[in-house]
Amino acid sequence: MTAATVTAPERSGVGRLDRRSWKVPIAFGLVTLAALVLFVILGRDRIVSFNLSTGTDLIQLPLLAFPALAGGIVVTVVLAVVTAFAVFRVWERRPVPLWVIVIGTVVAIVGFLAWAGAGATLQVPGLLTGTLFLATPLVYGALAGVIGERGGVVNIAIEAQLLGGAFTSAVVASLTQQPFVGLAAAGLAGMLVAFLLAAFAIKYFVEQVIVGVVINVLVSGLTGFLYSQVLTENRQLLNSPVRFDRIDIPLLSQIPVIGPTLFRQTILVYLMYVIVAVVAFALYRTKWGLRLRAVGEHPKAADTVGINVARTRFWNVALAGVIAGFGGAFFTLGSNGAFNKDMTNGAGFIALAAVIFGGWDPVRATLAALLFGFASNLQNALSVIGSPVPSEFMLMLPYVVTIAAVAGLVGRSRAPAADGVPYIKS
Partner 1 sequence: MSSPTPTLNPDAPLPGEDDGERANRWNDLLRRIATGNALVSVLAVLLAIVVGGVLIAVTDEGVQTAAGYFFARPGDTFAAIWKAVSGAYVALFQGSIIDFRQSDPLRALKPITQTLLFASPLIAAGLGVAIAFRVGLFNIGGRGQILVGAGFAGYASFAWDLPPVIHVIVALALGIAGGALWGGIAGFLKARTGAHEVIVTIMLNYVAYYLLSFLLRTPLLQNPGSNNPKTPPALPSAQLPAILPEPFKLHVGFILVIAATVFAWWLIERSSLGFKFRAVGLNPHAARTAGINVDRMYLYVMLFAGGFAGLAAANEVLGTTTTGFTSGVDAGIGFDAITVALLGRSTPWGTFAAGLLFGAFKSGGFAMQASQGIPIDIVLVVQSMIVLFIAAPPLVRSIFRLPQPGRPRRRAKSEPKAVAS
CA angle centred on 349, ends 386 and 7, rounded to 5° = 100
Q: What is the closest distance, in whole angstroms, from the C-beta atom of residue 266 to partner 1 in the complex?
A: 28
Nearer to partner 1, 327 or 348 (CB): 348
The residue among 123 and 216 lying less far from partner 1, judged by its C-beta, is 216
Give the shortest CB-228-to-partner 1 separation in angstroms.
4
Minimum Å gap between C-beta 388 and partner 1 is: 14
CA 99 from centre of chain: 17
CA-to-CA distance for 32 and 38, rounded, in angstroms?
10
The per-type count for the chain, helices as H runs and strands as E runs, is 17, 5
N-terminal to C-terminal alpha carbon distance within the chain: 44
- Whose Cβ is closer to partner 1: residue 224's or residue 337's? 224
Closest to partner 1 by CB, 99 or 225: 225
Binding site for partner 1 (CB under 8 A): 154, 156, 200, 204, 206-207, 209-211, 213-218, 220-222, 224-230, 346, 349, 352-353, 356, 390, 392-393, 395-396, 399-400, 402-403, 406-408, 415
SS3 232: coil
Nearer to partner 1, 140 or 349 (CB): 349
Q: Are 295 and 152 in contact (CB under 8 A)?
A: yes
Cα Rg, the chain, nearest whole Å:
22
Nearer to partner 1, 275 or 401 (CB): 401
Distance in Å, CB of 354 to partner 1, minimum: 12
Residue 230 Cβ, how far from partner 1 at the closest point, in Å? 6
* Alpha-carbon gap, residue 179 to 266, rounded angstroms: 11
Sign of CA dihedral 254, 260, 266, 272: negative
Q: Which is nearer to partner 1, 199 or 385 (CB)?
A: 199
Closest listed residue to residue 357, CA positions, set 322, 391, 400 = 400
The DSSP element (H or E) to which 246 belongs, if any, is: strand 246-248
Q: CB of residue 395 vs partner 1: minimum separation in angstroms?
A: 5
Least distance to partner 1 from the beta carbon of 219, Å?
Answer: 9
What's the burial of 91, exposed, middle or buried (CB within 10 Å: 0-12/13-18/19+)? exposed
Nearest partner of 120 among 37, 42, 63, judged by Cα: 63
Residue closer to partner 1 by CB (options 68, 231) is: 231
Distance, CA of 142 to CA of 154 (rounded, Å) = 12
From the CB of 206, what's the least distance to partner 1, in Å?
5
